[in-house]
Amino acid sequence: MILRAHPFPGRDIAAGGGAASSVSLWPLPTTSRALGFRLVMTHRKSEIATPPSWVEIDLNALRANIRAFQDALAGRAEPILVVKADAYGHGDGIVARAAAQEGVRRLAVAHVHEAENVRTAVPEAWILLLGAAPPESVPTLLECRVTVSIVSFEHGRALSEAATRAGRQLPAHIKVDTGMGRLGFSWETAAADAAALFDLPGLDPVGVFTHFARVTGEADDPAARQIERFRAVADALDRRAGRRLFRHASNSRAFLLHPEWDFDGVRPGLALYGYGADSPDGRFYTRPVLQWKTRVVQARRVPAGFPVGYDSTFITPRPTTLAILAVGYADGYPRALSGKGVVLLGGRRCPVLGRVSMNWTAVDAGPDADIAVGEEAVLIGRQGHVEVWADELAQLCDTIPYEIVTRIFPHLPRWPVGG
């Protein structure tokens, strides 16, 4: 196996090893812009490293979404753009740079390696690590100027000891579990337990936050109970600190439904990527940013009674054109879409036939289709007047759009378009 620096495909090159042969690499859309070279793994020099599918990030849509959120916020609080999980599959460097260009100063990640990536992309950003950082990562966190989350007194003490050994102060936000049942100080005892953090050397607690389990917007919204608990704990910690700590609680849905919970910061997530804020009558409106595309690797006319894929779960009821796409569950296209997914091809919504396999997926292009090898197919996005987005695929898979976009494997390139 070798590592090769590989630019965008789109020109004829000679395959190495033995007699040279001309291999035409399918061109990608001319609107895509390269950010430089990326390392691509290949097994032999004779193999040409070309992406089976790719992701396009609409910078115009992303920036419009960010501006819509900022307009709704109207300066009452600061946006803390969540770019964890590679910015929900969109590419954390691409998103972080676009956010910085729109004036977003604060970003949030889940893990230490994500913080390192984001710091490289936006050297001046304030970065909050939402997860429980291990104490051995403190030197890296200090070097990258990351604010940590403290989820228990024991966790805080371990971070304090590591920061003290480094001779530095580690800025921190205190995470309070008000009902999510996940990370954080239990709200019943948080006022006392978290207060002890202010006596630890090496720590500088400057903020406090919580996370909602469920937000409905109804009169008996369970998130309201969480807010009551959070306010009580935050008030107590303010008194112990002798100053007001930076407070934040709202995610995308809470921001849409409860302006009174904006506090000092708001953590928008998937809504900024185009899902969950699709009502023009809402507090703000966004549209999807990510499109996922692939190519046809074979198109063939097949008769009625033709079995398709593993276990022959689909038998064609009539003659049709079968298009084989260069994408499968190894790339993150859900196997749950077997026999029920939709792909855009030739300006039509074409059904997925049979099993989604590891590297290839079959679709029914229709009996009168004129489909050529190399033709572009859209897995998520728009083609002509037809669309298919992650929320539709999520419904078909009985899951949520978060899972659809974050499961697009990171080995596929993310390319910014427009902007």
Residue 25 has pLDDT above 80, yes or no: no
Per-residue confidence band for 7, with pLDDT thresholds at 50, 70 and 90: very low
What is the pLDDT, as a whole number, of residue 28?
38
Interval 46-86: pLDDT, tens: 333 568 899 999 999 999 999 999 999 999 999 999 999 99
Question: Is 88 designated active site?
Answer: no
Residue 32 has pLDDT above 60, yes or no: no
The one catalytic residue among 88, 275, 310, 402: 310
Q: Identify the burial level of 418 via C-beta atoms within 10 angstroms of its C-beta, where 0-12 means exposed, 13-18 middle and 19 or more buried.
A: middle
Domain spanning 290-388: CATH superfamily: Lyase, Ornithine Decarboxylase; Chain A, domain 1 (2.40.37.10)
**Four-way CATH pick for 58-273: 3.40.50.10240, 3.40.1180.10, 3.20.20.10, 3.40.50.970:** 3.20.20.10
- Judge whether 150 and 159 are in contact, CB under 8 Å: yes
- Tell me the two tokens of residue 217: 């917007």
The mean pLDDT value for 348-359 works out to: 98
Q: What is the mean pLDDT of the chain?
A: 89
Interval 199-213: pLDDT, tens: 999 999 999 999 999
Residue 37 has pLDDT above 70, yes or no: no
The one catalytic residue among 84, 275, 293, 333: 84
Domain locations in the chain?
Answer: 2-14+23-50, 58-273, 290-388
Interval 310-326: pLDDT, tens: 999 999 999 999 999 99
Per-residue confidence band for 123, with pLDDT thresholds at 50, 70 and 90: very high
Closest by Cα among 299, 415, 351 to 53: 415
Closest by Cα among 79, 133, 131 to 107: 79
Interval 246-292: pLDDT, tens: 999 999 999 999 999 999 999 999 999 999 998 888 999 999 999 99
- Sign of the Cα torsion 265, 270, 273, 275 reads negative
Question: Is 275 designated active site?
Answer: no
